[in-house]
Amino acid sequence: MAEEQLFLKSKVIVEPLVDRFFAWPHTIAPVQAALNLARLQVPLLESYLQSPQVHVAASNNPELRGGYFINIPESRVDEVRDLLDTIKRDRAGMLRFADAVMAGQEILRASATGFDLTPLYSKLPAELGGLVELAYDTDNQAQLRFMEPLVYKSDAYTEARQSVQLSFETGVERPFILSTPRLPSPDVLELAIPFRHPGLEELFKARVRPTTLSHLREALGLDDAQAARLSGMLSDRPSLSPDRHIESGGRIRYFGHACLVLQTPQAAIVTDPFISADSTAGDRYTLDDLPDYIDLVLITHGHQDHIVLETLLQLRGRVGTVVVPRSSRGNLCDPSMALMLSHQGFPVLEVDDFDEIPFPGGKVTATPFLGEHCDLDIRAKSTYWAELAGKNVFIGADSSGIDPALYRYIKGHLGTADYAFLGMECDGAPLTWLYQALLTIPIPKKMSDSRKLSGSNAEQAGAIMTELGAKEGYIYAMGEEAWLGHVMATTYNEDTYQIKQINEFLAWCSDRGIKAGHLFKQQEWRW
């Protein structure tokens, strides 16, 4: 008798972990991951072990939401101690690499005074040998430049750090990803496999195409107990939405935060995929609403709410190309998105401003992204311009209007936008919140607070609309949907500066007869 054909249940989620911390570019890309491990995660675990009750109390204090506190009950303190001991033992090479980066930068600070850098190579820590070039900028400031593809081949990168946890979306907010490691749990199927493991592709393809338990068992290398757990995640019926494809014209759907799905009958594009699996919530599009095949995934930048491995892994095997912005190659604060994703098994295309990416029946052009990175020299960021079914769509992500003249060049090159999607996180977190571990000299708090992860305010967003000649403008990427809480940790109310600015922008549009909206949960445009 033929084995039963089964689909993956719609509420299955995957949490990709690196040494039990949630995976995002700064925990995967090796130079940044080493610094985060040594300078953020290890000290955080040590702080928790000193006073777990302080961490738990702070985690539950709404005023400290998004802070670096570990939300694990004191009863599990021994497991956290084991995690720290394992990291110190098994990742000693990475921790030494992080120390070497700090020491190397210190050597440059002390000795790179504008003269020949050649004598400094022999003074660098051995861990950096063959992996860095020393270089001045034209202002005579010296930096380490990392040979990033080589660092992926060094002791600073090991897939042994990676694992995945499979479970069901419960609708209960998960702990904040940047601070709380995930421990084993009876509700979770834990697999000690790297993210690029082909079995994961087989598993998630089973959302759209049926397979058998024995096939998945073999693909993932499961034992009896694991196979039994997995069988509870499979169903004899697919859970796909009947209207996930269209037969004419064009459609855009807002899936929450920065995730848009742009469709024609011939093609589908998904921006910054971050998609709920909660198919019974009824107030949002979910993984069930995605088209079966996605021609292009467009990644705008490397922040943890825009390059979301927990969704991307679910799409691998159904995506033609993941388009990522080009980094500056080897700059400490600017890891390559292309290297990071290609090492996780994704088909990647790296683009620069005004590069064109054709797809069936249309074209995407990469467009510049300004600011929102605390004035760090980060170039792996892009907005996009999509032409499909006769409409021009500007996907602005968190790009800011600090210098709106930029958008005049976009219009000059590409025309006017029918739809502009703009982020307005205009009072973002300070520099040290996201980049602390990468800063090689201490930054005074006042300086950090002056350099925020901020997108456009009302005036800047209005200026972008004017410069683009946009006919309709929608504010998105604000992290307001409750199902993003474990990544966003935002708390807005109607008195919050950002919300007041959005309302000011909407009034500005209304005064000019421009159709506008503040997106929340779900919305659809059809033509």
d(CA 516, CA 512): 10
217 interacts with Fe ion by CB under 5 A:
no
Task: Please say which residue, 189 or 478, places its beta carbon nearer to Fe ion.
Answer: 478
Closest approach, Cβ 477 to Fe ion, in A, equals: 5
305 interacts with Fe ion by CB under 5 A:
yes
Residues present in the chain in total: 527
CA 393 and chain centroid, separation: 22
Task: Please say which residue, 251 or 303, places its beta carbon nearer to Fe ion.
Answer: 303
Closest approach, Cβ 306 to Fe ion, in A, equals: 6
334 interacts with Fe ion by CB under 5 A:
no
Beta bridge partner(s), residue 251: 263, 526
Closest CA to 313 of 202, 177, 238: 202
Among 9, 11, 284, 303, binds Fe ion (CB under 5 A): 303
Closest approach, Cβ 340 to Fe ion, in A, equals: 16
d(CA 298, CA 383): 9
Closest CA to 98 of 437, 443, 434: 437
Task: Please say which residue, 182 or 303, places its beta carbon nearer to Fe ion.
Answer: 303
278 interacts with Fe ion by CB under 5 A:
no
Work out the angle at residue 105's Cα, subtended by the Cα atoms of residues 151 and 41, and round it to the nearest 5 degrees: 65
Task: Please say which residue, 310 or 398, places its beta carbon nearer to Fe ion.
Answer: 398
d(CA 36, CA 38): 6
Task: Please say which residue, 70 or 270, places its beta carbon nearer to Fe ion.
Answer: 270
15 interacts with Fe ion by CB under 5 A:
no
What track of x and - describes contact with Fe ion for positions 56 through 85 (by CB under 5 A)? ------------------------------
Task: Please say which residue, 45 or 484, places its beta carbon nearer to Fe ion.
Answer: 484
Stretch that binds Fe ion, among 135-143, 212-220, 302-310, 360-368 (CB under 5 A): 302-310
Closest approach, Cβ 398 to Fe ion, in A, equals: 4
| DSSP per position, 127-196 | GGTTTEEEEE-TTS-EEEEE-HHHHTTSTT--GGGEEEEEEE--SSPPPPTTT-PPPP-TT-EEE---TT
Task: Please say which residue, 97 or 274, places its beta carbon nearer to Fe ion.
Answer: 274
Task: Please say which residue, 291 or 423, places its beta carbon nearer to Fe ion.
Answer: 423
Task: Please say which residue, 15 or 398, places its beta carbon nearer to Fe ion.
Answer: 398
Closest CA to 146 of 122, 127, 162, 120: 127
Closest approach, Cβ 437 to Fe ion, in A, equals: 17
Work out the angle at residue 367's Cα, subtended by the Cα atoms of residues 361 and 370, and round it to the nearest 5 degrees: 155
Which two tokens mark 136? 């001045």
d(CA 165, CA 303): 22
User: In 296-360, which ranges are continuous DSSP H helix?
Assistant: 309-315, 337-342
Stretch that binds Fe ion, among 136-144, 173-181, 290-298, 300-308 (CB under 5 A): 300-308
Closest approach, Cβ 268 to Fe ion, in A, equals: 22
Q: Which residues contact 172 (CB under 8 A, 6 or more apart)?
A: none
Which two tokens mark 216? 């998945």
Closest approach, Cβ 235 to Fe ion, in A, equals: 34
481 interacts with Fe ion by CB under 5 A:
no
Closest approach, Cβ 256 to Fe ion, in A, equals: 12
The site that binds Fe ion (CB under 5 A) totals a number of residues, namely 3
Task: Please say which residue, 148 or 425, places its beta carbon nearer to Fe ion.
Answer: 425
Q: Which residues contact 161 (CB under 8 A, 6 or more apart)?
A: 18, 19, 33, 91
Q: Could you say which residues in the range 380-439 bind Fe ion, by CB under 5 A?
A: 398
Closest approach, Cβ 74 to Fe ion, in A, equals: 33
Positions touching Fe ion (CB under 5 A) are 303, 305, 398
